[in-house]
């Protein structure tokens, strides 16, 4: 099967942090079907925000995202362990070379200090978004760019669900 990454990526909408997702993940996968190899489609279809750290054999961009996610989570472990006055070693995941992004500590610290759990998660996801942009640097019409698009779309869809979840209870309490 031929791969038409240039055509596919050029036809995808631009994603902006904080905006409403322009399409569903299912619709995105439908657009990919027939334009990229089945193995690549299966990898994109299996992508989710939770298990990215658990994959064994990763494509290079996914590996970079995994390394960053591990570094971010390890930094949160260190901060939380310091608050509880326990040794963080037993909770840390293996350190991965190349995951020392200088912004990891500042983002983790900002999220840790945030009084709102929702705002803390937003800080962390914005950092994930920014790192995905960095991981896509130099990739324009290839599989790496498609992975970054899928990852960012998943982040947008996550916050779309959160936004709708908050609106319903507020509406119900206002009507009661």
Q: DSSP string of 83-136?
A: HHT--SGGGPPPP-TT---HHHHHHHHHHHH-S-HHHHHHHHHHHHHHHHHHHT
Within 13 A of 97's CA, how many CA atoms are on the CB side? 0
pLDDT, tens digit (0-9, with 9 covering 90-100), for 3-36:
688 899 999 999 999 999 999 999 999 999 999 9
> pLDDT over 90 for what percent of the chain?
43
User: What is the structure's pLDDT at 138?
Assistant: 85
- CA dist., res. 123 & res. 108, Å (int): 8
Type and span of the H or E element at 71? helix 60-84
User: What is the structure's pLDDT at 131?
Assistant: 94
Q: For the ranges 41-45, 62-66, 130-134, 167-171, which has the lowest average pLDDT?
A: 167-171
| pTM given for the model | 0.86
pLDDT, tens digit (0-9, with 9 covering 90-100), for 76-98:
998 888 888 888 878 777 766 54
């Amino acid at each position: 099967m031929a791969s038409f990454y240039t055509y596919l990526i050029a036809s995808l909408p631009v994603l902006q942090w904080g905006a409403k997702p322009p399409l569903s993940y299912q619709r995105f996968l439908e657009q990919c079907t027939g334009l990229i190899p089945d193995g690549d489609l299966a990898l994109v279809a299996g992508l989710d925000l939770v298990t990215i750290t658990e994959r064994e054999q990763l494509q290079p961009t996914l590996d970079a995202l995994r390394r960053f996610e591990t570094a971010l989570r390890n930094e949160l472990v260190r901060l939380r362990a310091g608050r509880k006055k326990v040794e963080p070693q037993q909770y840390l995941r293996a350190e991965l070379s190349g995951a020392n992004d200088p912004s990891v500590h500042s983002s983790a610290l900002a999220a840790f200090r945030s009084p709102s759990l929702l705002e803390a998660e937003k800080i962390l996801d914005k950092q994930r978004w920014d790192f995905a942009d960095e991981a896509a640097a130099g990739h324009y019409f290839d599989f790496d760019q498609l992975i970054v698009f899928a990852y960012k779309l998943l982040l947008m869809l996550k916050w779309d669900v959160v936004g709708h979840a908050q609106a319903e209870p507020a509406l119900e309490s206002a009507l009661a």
